[in-house]
């Protein structure tokens, strides 16, 4: 349950601040300060006068010696202490961990069921998910950050698919309706047959439009020679 809660909390923080991950010191500093905490960078020895005085007044000399980062919370005083001399990568790792403590719903709960071990597990899990939340989540954050561009791209894709479908659909000729009712020949007109064909056609039939080997004959001649009517131009109509 703690792991799921930590992951959920981590992703909520990333979405809220529109970040793909938290691997930048400035981003972490801004998020921590937005939670009303002040980051204090210290050295194990030879701190500035302000930092030395603050450490002395808060009574955190022991924590300074033993840890590279820790939280200090007392009433309205909220600090994140971090060792100035460690690498930037280590600073980011420790700040992610401390941010996990800050975002822990049970941060100030001293109940035995929420022991220090469970709080450390929560902060560690939070740190992992804010460091690398996964490619799907990064795509989701990209869509949030650039929603106008995303909508435009989707519209263009839909239009392009519609255009391709419209122009690639073949224009199939409609199947002619063959009537079983015998037709009455009113008069002999001019019809055309091809040298290799077995059907007679009207003059403007698309089947013979571009053919040169045509023979003209009357309807009576075509029928007497065994030619059948073309089903495309319907010469009997």
pLDDT band for 150, please (50, 70, 90 cuts).
low
pLDDT band for 140, please (50, 70, 90 cuts).
low
Is 163 inside any structural domain? Answer: no
47, 106: one domain: yes
Tell me the CATH number at 217. 3.40.10
Ranges 43-57, 62-76, 209-223: which has the least confidence: 209-223
State the residue range of the domain holding 14.
Answer: 2-133
Measured CA to CA, the distance from residue 8 to residue 108 in angstroms comes to: 19
pLDDT at position 186 is 39
Whether 199 and 227 have beta carbons less than 8 Å apart is answered as: yes
Burial class (CB in 10 A: 0-12, 13-18, 19+), 92: buried
10, 111: one domain: yes
Is 22 inside any structural domain? Answer: yes
pLDDT at position 180 is 57
The string of pLDDT tens digits covering residues 75-129 is: 899 999 999 999 999 999 999 999 999 999 887 776 555 578 889 999 999 999 9
Is 156 inside any structural domain? Answer: no
What total of structural domains would you count in the chain? Answer: 2
Is 167 inside any structural domain? Answer: no
The string of pLDDT tens digits covering residues 160-201 is: 887 788 777 666 555 555 555 554 443 457 888 888 888 888
Whether 216 and 190 have beta carbons less than 8 Å apart is answered as: yes
Closest CA to 37 of 124, 103, 134, 109: 103
Q: pTM (2 decimals)?
A: 0.57
CA distances from 42 to 2, 129, 154, 178 (A): 32, 27, 50, 95
Is the model more confident about 158 or about 146?
A: 158
Q: Select from 117, 133, 149 the last residue of a domain.
A: 133
Closest CA to 206 of 228, 237, 178, 234: 234
91, 186: one domain: no
9, 80: one domain: yes
Is the model more confident about 232 or about 53?
A: 53
Closest CA to 92 of 118, 54, 131: 131
22, 128: one domain: yes
């Amino acid at each position: 349950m703690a792991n799921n809660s930590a992951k959920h909390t981590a992703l909520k923080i990333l979405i809220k601040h529109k970040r793909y991950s938290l691997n930048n010191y400035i981003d972490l500093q801004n998020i921590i300060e937005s939670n009303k905490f002040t980051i204090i960078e210290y050295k194990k020895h030879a701190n500035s006068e302000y930092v030395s005085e603050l450490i002395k007044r808060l009574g955190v000399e022991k924590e300074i010696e033993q840890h590279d980062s820790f939280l200090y919370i007392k009433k309205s005083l909220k600090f994140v202490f971090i060792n100035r001399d460690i690498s930037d990568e280590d600073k980011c790792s420790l700040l992610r961990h401390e941010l996990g403590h800050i975002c822990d719903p049970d941060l100030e709960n001293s109940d035995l069921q929420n022991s220090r071990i469970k709080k450390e597990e929560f902060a560690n899990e939070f740190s992992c998910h804010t460091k690398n939340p996964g490619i799907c989540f990064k795509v989701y954050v990209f869509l949030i950050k650039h929603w106008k561009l995303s909508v435009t791209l989707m519209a263009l894709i839909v239009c392009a698919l519609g255009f391709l479908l419209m122009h690639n659909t073949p224009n199939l000729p409609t199947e002619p309706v063959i009537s079983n009712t015998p037709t009455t020949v009113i008069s002999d007109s001019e019809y055309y047959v091809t040298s290799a064909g077995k059907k007679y056609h009207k003059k403007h039939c698309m089947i013979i439009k571009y053919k040169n080997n045509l023979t003209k004959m009357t309807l009576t001649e075509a029928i007497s020679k065994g030619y059948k009517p073309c089903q495309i131009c319907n010469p009997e109509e």
